[in-house]
Amino acid sequence: MSVIRQAESLQPEGKTMKTTVSGGLVRRMLLATAAAVTLSPAGALAQDELNALVWCDHTDPALVEPFEKANNVKVNLKEYEGTGAAISIIEQSRPGDWDVLVIDAVDVPRAIDMEILGEMPADKLPLGDLFPEVRMEETTTKDGKVYAVTEKFGYNTISYDKTKVDPADMDDLSVIWSEKYKGRIALYDYYLPMVGLTGVGIGKKTADLTQDDLPAIKEKLFEMKKVARQVSDVVASQTALATGEVDIVVGGGEWLTAGLSAEKPDLDWTIPKQGALRWAQSIGVFKDSGKPDLALKFVQYIVSPEGQARLATSSCYWAMPANAKAGEHLTEQQKTALRWDRQPDYLKNSQLYPVADADMDAAMQDVWTEMLQQ
């Protein structure tokens, strides 16, 4: 597993930013500094820097280091969770502090409306190589201009231990509120996909969800809670499944189990007949970036087949690369873990997260909290 180290770096504007850099990078930085002091005139070895606000999968040195080496650049990565946190960070920063943004695909329109993202030239991005279902032009473009590109996607569905449950049972979502696996289920503690997935389980499309649907969903969530052992975050859910505390994680998917496939081959995931939820993450360049060309180069690297394969199998979590050509750079074991060959069916049988206005969002959170307190 890659070694990640936390370091504090001083931003050009004097703002202190917590960044995540690789151990190798730290060593190289020290060596480079020593060399610069002893051998060279000041500035002769100046290295470009790029500041990126990212999800944890981008902090894997195996992903970033090839780009850094090829371009003699240091990529400062700040990891965040949740678009709200990202917006808060951006609002506290000065224009130009950030160059690259990784963001939940459904939140790209919000970022465009807030004028956070800058336009990217469509002809310099491999948009035609993306799986058609994840191009998501309706969210990544505005007025014909490209502001972001989908880089990775996956599913909120069912992860399980195939030696402990009957895999055939996992083909029906109703198993998550049945008594058969009582006390052996973990529910992923994120209201948005879980409300959506429960809706899918009772035949409601995520795109059509309204507050009128919530009582029926709440009833099912309460039933799920009764048979669940725990409601837990990513780490706790993954740990519970890997250690045998639970045998099923509802809301999980390839992002929860594929990365463990080498060590825990019994862990698997599937999409039941009713369907599942699909998530996607996008990458774009900040409108106020002082290095738009370098930032675009980074985006191009990330969405290139090689970058995509590295991103898909990042040490933080695995998920499907958006670029279909990434398959050429993945091993058979990696493809099997990601269920590469099943993607055409899975893409057809999955729906995007519910897009909720503030009231609907608050109502969904109330329902989720009520379920937690049951």
- Output the smallest distance, CB 216 to other proteins, in A: 18
- Is residue 114 involved in binding other proteins (CB under 8 A)? no
CA-nearest of 351, 372, 205 to 276 is: 351
- Output the smallest distance, CB 161 to other proteins, in A: 13
* Options 128, 183, 203, 265; binder of other proteins; rule CB under 8 A: 183
* Options 208, 219, 345, 370; binder of other proteins; rule CB under 8 A: 370
* Options 4, 32, 202, 236; binder of other proteins; rule CB under 8 A: 236
- Is residue 331 involved in binding other proteins (CB under 8 A)? no
* Options 82, 128, 167, 344; binder of other proteins; rule CB under 8 A: 82
For residue 110, give the H/E element and its range. helix 108-113
Region label for 136, one of left (φ > 0), alpha (ψ between -120 and 50) or beta (otherwise)? left
CA-nearest of 354, 244, 237, 286 to 112 is: 286
- Is residue 365 involved in binding other proteins (CB under 8 A)? yes
Q: Residue 211 corresponds to which tokens in the numbers above?
A: 């507050």
Kindly list the distances between the CA atom of residue 166 and the CA atoms of 172, 248, 261, in Å, as whole numbers in the listed order: 11, 11, 19
- Is residue 230 involved in binding other proteins (CB under 8 A)? yes
Cα distance between residue 294 and residue 98, in whole Å? 12
Query: DSSP letters along 255-299, please?
Result: HHHGGGTTT-TTEEEE--TT-EEEEEEEEEEBTT-S-HHHHHHHH
* Options 65, 245, 266, 306; binder of other proteins; rule CB under 8 A: 245
- Is residue 72 involved in binding other proteins (CB under 8 A)? no
Q: Which is nearer to other proteins, 162 or 225 (CB)?
A: 225
Please give the sequence-ordered ranges of beta strands (E in DSSP) within 116-177, or none if there are none: 141-142, 145-146, 149-161
* Options 147, 155, 160, 191; binder of other proteins; rule CB under 8 A: 191
- Is residue 244 involved in binding other proteins (CB under 8 A)? yes
Cα distance between residue 310 and residue 329, in whole Å? 8
Footprint of other proteins (CB under 8 A): 82, 84, 183, 189, 191, 225, 229-232, 236, 243-245, 357-359, 362, 365-366, 369-370, 372-373
